[in-house]
């Protein structure tokens, strides 16, 4: 009987050694940097489609968030986000990173596999498809 226990323990140890480490799983996810140009009194984000694809959200959703955060109107035209006002890349990157940290990346497992559901009363729920976590976030 003790030989079976020893053999089982050895098999378990070997299996755990071969398992991938969870911290290494999500190394390939990177928040894209904003590529913007300033034309007159407007800032144009040229790669909003790439950012939206990575977030698994629509460009209009990200534009609505940026509009509220920057307190200026935005519009989506010809696969570009037009922002009224002159904003530097580092300011836009800071806002996009804040969006990802609040509305895309799960606070429990830190994976970007999430979606938003309406929670009512000005709230939304961020639902993680990887770990099943569900928590409220403020509507933008």
Q: Domain extents for the chain? A: 25-104, 109-140
Tens digit of each residue's pLDDT (9 = 90 or more) over 95-137: 999 999 999 999 999 999 999 998 778 789 999 999 999 999 9
Q: Is the dihedral of CA 69, 60, 128, 124 positive or negative?
A: positive
pLDDT of 69-94, one tens digit each? 999 999 999 999 999 999 999 999 99
User: Could you say which DSSP state residue 89 is in?
Assistant: H
Q: How far is CA 23 from CA 20, 26, 28, 34, 92, in A?
A: 9, 7, 11, 26, 28
Q: CATH 3.30.30.170: does it fit domain 25-104?
A: yes
pLDDT band of 27, cuts 50, 70, 90:
low
């Amino acid at each position: 009987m003790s030989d079976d226990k020893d053999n089982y323990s050895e098999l378990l140890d070997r299996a755990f050694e071969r398992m991938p480490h969870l911290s290494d799983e999500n190394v390939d996810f990177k928040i894209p940097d904003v590529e913007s140009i300033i034309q007159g009194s407007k800032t144009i984000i040229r790669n909003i489609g790439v950012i939206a694809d990575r977030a698994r959200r629509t460009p209009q959703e990200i534009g609505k968030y940026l509009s509220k955060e920057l307190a200026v109107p935005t519009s989506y035209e010809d696969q570009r986000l037009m922002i009224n006002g002159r904003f530097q890349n580092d300011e836009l990157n800071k806002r996009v990173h804040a969006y990802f940290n609040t509305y895309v990346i799960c606070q429990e497992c830190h994976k970007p596999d999430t979606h938003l559901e309406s929670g009512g009363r000005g709230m939304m729920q961020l639902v993680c498809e990887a770990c099943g976590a569900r928590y409220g976030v403020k509507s933008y």
